[in-house]
Structure 1
C-alpha cells in the first residue's frame, strides 16, 4: 500500500487482537473485522502472532497471456448499475466498472478503488482514501466527484436503488404528510444532509446517523459499482455508453444471447497484468441440459452456477473441475405481512410450525448445505446466535389456524420461478409439509422475468437471496422498515432499533446477543419459512486457472488465465 495514505488504527483492533490471542474470538472473525476497519491483512496477522499463508506455490506454472474465456450465464439487462438486482448483471459489468471495496472468495473486504479507510471510535465517521492514477476509459481521472455523484443518486428514492437499504445509516426518513390506501402515513427516505464530505479529490468522509460496521462491505455489493460522474448526463444507459475504470471494455451485448468483453489497450490497468484477451458470456437459458451439452462439446470453459442436481453429471465429465463454496445463500418463502390472510401472525406461525427444516434441507440438497432457522442469519455469519431448535408441531399449527378462523382449513398460493429446479422443489416440499394441518398450498410457477416483476408485491412468494458477509447486512437489506428490498413489508420499530445497536458492536461476541434478539423476533413474527443454507457450485475446464466459487457468485476474472 502506498505510504502517502497514512491512517490511524482503530483502537478496538488491538483489543480485539488481545481477545483473539486469548481464544475469545476466532482468527477468521478477527481478520475480517480488522479488514472492515481498514487494517491490512499483514498488519492484522502480526497483531495476533501469525504469518500469512502465501498460498500454494505457482512457480511451476507461469500464467499465459491471451485467450477467450467462454462462460455460460444468463445475459440480463445491464442498462443501470444502480438498480441491479442480480449477480449476473454485475458479473458482466464488474470487469468494466468497479467497486470501492471488493469481497474476496474468503468473505473478507479488500481495498479496490478505495486503497484505505479508517473509522472513528464510534463508527459514525469513516474516511476513505481513493486510488490515485486511475483513468476512466474516456481519459478522465477517477476521483471523489465520481463517488459523490453515485452515492447521491443511489440514495435518491427516485432512482429506486436497493442501496438505500445498504446505506440506511446515511439516510433520513420523514413523513410526507400523505396517506396510502389503508390510511397509513406515507414516508420518504432520502440522503441525510452532510452525510458525505469531499475532503480533497481523492479523500471522502462519511458522516453517519448511526454506527455502521458493515459500511465497507456494503460498498462491495453488486449495485454499488461506481459509474462515471456524467453517467446520467450522458444518457444513463451503460450499454450505450460503457465508460469504465476496469481492465475490460464492453464490445458486444444482447439480452438473452451474449456479452463480449475485450481487454482495454488504451491504458495500462491499475491492477497489474490481465491475462485474458476476451471474456464471452453466452446465455443458454434456464435449461441445465443445454449447459451440460455445451461443456461436453467444448463450447464453453466455465459457468455461472452448477445446480446441485447437475453435480453428478459434471463430476462424470473428465476435463471439468467442480468448485464448491459454503455460503449464506438461501431461499425464503416469505409472507407479505400486509396482505390477507398473512396479516394475521397466527396464520404465518401455523405454516411455520408445519416445517421440518432438517428434512427440507435433505429433500432439496441431500448431503450439501445446512438447515435454516427462519431468521436469515447464517451459521457462517460471524455474529450468528444459535437459538433453540425449531420443531415440527401439527397440533400447534391446527390450534393457531382455528384461533385465526380457519378451523376448517386454509387455501393459499405461493409464486415461484420455473428455474432453478431447487426453488420449485422447495415449494413442493413446503406444500407437502403443510397439508396435514389442513393447509392447501397451490404452487404458481412463473417464468423468471414474470416473477421478478412482482417479487416485492406478491402476497406469498419464494425468493432466492444471495450471500452477504455479515448478518446485519442481510437484515438491513431485507427486513428494516421502508427499504426497497423489504419484500415482506415487515415493519417493527423494536427490530430496527436493535439492528442499529447491533451495528455499533465490532466484537462479534458483543454483537451476538443483539443478533439473538433480532433472530428471535423474526422467528416469533413468522415473517418467512426459510428453506436451507446453500452450498454453491461452479464448474470450469481443467485448462482454466485462477477461477473459484465465490460465495456470492461474483466473477473476478482479471487474474484468470487459460493454459
Structure 2
C-alpha cells in the first residue's frame, strides 16, 4: 500500500460502501488515505474533485492575532494541550497531518507503504527538506524521533502509548530491529503485532519532529524544519512566531510575517470583549451562548462536528480517607445511572452536540458499534450505592473553572444529589487543575478527537498508560483492544469494538455525556482559519485574503 495514485483494492470497496450509503465520506477519506491513497485519488474514487485550498488565495505579509491560551512549553512528546502544538507547529513539523475532511496528508513524509497485515511500514522521507540550521532532514532524523516516542520511562510521554507495537516491554525502549534506516530517505518499521493506528498516531499533536540535538525545551535553540521561529513568549500572556527569512522552507504557504497568540483567560466574556475591541483577528474556540454573541458581531463562523468530548471519571486507584471508593464497579455504575446525559448536553453545552453513551467511541469513528443507551435510573443508582456500602460517602467532583466544563459538572452534581448521593463540588482555576489532572479521585476532563475510536481506547483506558486517568485496568479489555488494533477493516473491527464498548459501560469507567460540535469565529478576510476537529491551527495555511 503506497501513498500514490495507485488505488488499493480495499479503498475501492470502501468507495462502494459510500455509494451504497453505508459509509460516510469522512470515514472513507480516513480509511483510504491511511491505506496510502492520496487525497486527490480518494476523491476521484467518489467521482469528485478535491476541494480547492482557500488559503492559496492569501496575500503575502501581515500580522495575524489569535486568541488562545498560552501555556508553558515542554518536550513535545509530553504535550497534553493542543495549544502547545499550535505554537510550535510554526517550526516543529509533523510526519503526517490530519485534515479537516478526515484525510491524512504526508508532510515530512512523502508517503508510506504498509504490508497486508499492518506489521511492516515503509516510510518514505520527503526529499529536499532542511532544518533551519542548514542541515538536511533525513531518515536518521525520522528514526531518532520514533525511537524517542517509544521511551516509556519518560514521565508524561503519551507517544509511547501510540508506539506500543514498536516497544520492548522489558526495556521500555524501541524493540531491537523495530526501526531500521534503509537509506537516507527510507525507514522501515517492523511491528511486534499488527497496528492500524500508526499513521494516525504520527499526526497527533504530541508527535512534533525535533532535531537530534533537542534538549527538551522547544524554546532553547529552536531548530526545526518549519518556516517560522519563536519570538516573544510569556506564559498566560503572549506567544509570537516570526517568519524565518533565512530558511528556505520546503512547503507551500506560510503567507504571514508574524503570528501572535494572545491569552485573555478562559472566561468567554473577556474573549468577546477582546473581539469587540478589535484586539484579535480569530479565536481559538467559541463556546455556548457566546456563539450567538459572536454571530452578532458579524464575524465568519466555522463549525466542526467532532468526537471531542467531556468525561466525568472516577479514579479507580485513588485513595480517600484510607479507602479506594471507586475500586468497586457498583459505585461507578451507580454514579453513571444517576445522571441523564441528555440533560448534561442541554445544561452543560447548550445542546451544541449529540448525546454520548459512556464508552468514548463516537458515531463518527469508522468502527463505532451501536449499543443500547445507558440506563438513567436515579432510584436504582441510590440502591446500588447503598448495596456497595457507600450510601453515606461524600463524593468530591472537581472541575476547571471555565464555562462548559464547570456547567456540565454542576449539572451532574445536581442530578447525583437528586438521586440521594452526597456530592461536594470543587472548582479550580486552570493553572491549578491541570497540574494534577490525572490524579484527582473524581473529576471532569475534556478529550480531543482522534481519527479512530480504537486510538482513544488505547490512549485513555489501556492498563498503565500515562493518560489513563481513570486507572482502569482490565485484562479482558486489554486483550480485546490488542485484537481490535490488529484489524484493518473497520467493519470487522466493529465486532470487537462492540465488546469493548460494552465493557466500558458495564464497568462504569466513565460518565461520558456528549459529543461536542465546536465552533470558531474569525474576521471575514482571514483564510485558513477553519475550525479543525482536533483544534489544530495549521499556521502555514493562515493569511489574509488577497
Query: What TM-score, normalized by structure 2, do the two folds share?
Result: 0.94
Distance 1:20 1:283, change over 3 A: closer
CA distance in 1, matches of 2:184, 2:76: 23
What whole-Å deviation, never above 9, does each CA across 1:45-98 have from its counterpart, x for those lacking one? 44x45132434889xx94311100001111111232121110000000011110
Is the CA contact 2:36–2:111 (under 8 Å) kept in the aligned structure 1? yes
CA distance in 2, matches of 1:9, 1:120: 15
Q: Which residue of 2 aligns with 1:370?
A: 354
What whole-Å deviation, never above 9, does each CA across 1:530-561 have from its counterpart, x for those lacking one? 13111111111112123200011100121222
- Aligned residue pairs total 538
Q: Using the TM superposition, name which of 443-452 and 69-78 deviates more.
A: 443-452
Distance 1:275 1:349, change over 3 A: same
Q: Which residue of 1 aligns with 2:225?
A: 245
Residue segments in structure 1 that go unaligned for 5+ positions in a row: 175-187
CA distance in 1, matches of 2:412, 2:20: 44
Is the CA contact 1:16–1:507 (under 8 Å) kept in the aligned structure 2? no
What whole-Å deviation, never above 9, does each CA across 1:359-408 have from its counterpart, x for those lacking one? 2111122231111111111111111111112221123212211221134x
Q: Which residue of 1 aligns with 2:404?
A: 422
Match of 1:218 among 178, 197, 201: 201
Match of 2:78 among 46, 65, 83: 83
Match of 1:126 among 113, 121, 130: 121
CA distance in 1, matches of 2:102, 2:419: 41
CA distance in 2, matches of 1:89, 1:285: 15
TM superposition shift of 1:19: 4.9
4+ residue stretches of structure 1 with deviation over 3 A? 5-28, 53-58
Q: Using the TM superposition, name which of 197-206 and 9-18 deviates more.
A: 9-18
CA distance in 2, matches of 1:172, 1:548: 40
TM superposition shift of 1:439: 0.8
Distance 1:159 1:7, change over 3 A: farther
Q: Which residue of 2 aligns with 1:406?
A: 390
Is the CA contact 2:305–2:516 (under 8 Å) kept in the aligned structure 1? yes
CA distance in 1, matches of 2:443, 2:166: 30
- What's the secondary structure of 1:453's corresponding residue? coil
TM superposition shift of 1:173: 2.7
CA distance in 1, matches of 2:230, 2:516: 32
State whether structure 2 residue 94 is matched by structure 1 residue 99: yes
Q: Where do residues 515-534 of structure 1 align in structure 2 (5 Å cutoff)?
A: 515-534=497-516
Match of 2:106 among 111, 128, 132: 111
Q: Which residue of 1 aligns with 2:187?
A: 204
Match of 2:436 among 451, 454, 470: 454
CA distance in 1, matches of 2:186, 2:527: 36
Q: Which residue of 2 aligns with 1:286?
A: 266
Is the CA contact 1:414–1:442 (under 8 Å) kept in the aligned structure 2? yes
CA distance in 1, matches of 2:204, 2:316: 27
Q: Which residue of 2 aligns with 1:302?
A: 282
TM superposition shift of 1:8: 7.5
- What's the secondary structure of 1:222's corresponding residue? coil
CA distance in 2, matches of 1:210, 1:57: 41
Residue segments in structure 2 that go unaligned for 5+ positions in a row: 319-323
CA distance in 1, matches of 2:302, 2:18: 31
State whether structure 2 residue 164 is matched by structure 1 residue 168: yes
- What's the secondary structure of 2:266's corresponding residue? coil
State whether structure 2 residue 294 is matched by structure 1 residue 321: no
Q: Which residue of 2 aligns with 1:184?
A: none
Is the CA contact 2:398–2:427 (under 8 Å) kept in the aligned structure 1? yes
CA distance in 1, matches of 2:275, 2:46: 45
Q: Which residue of 1 aligns with 2:523?
A: 541
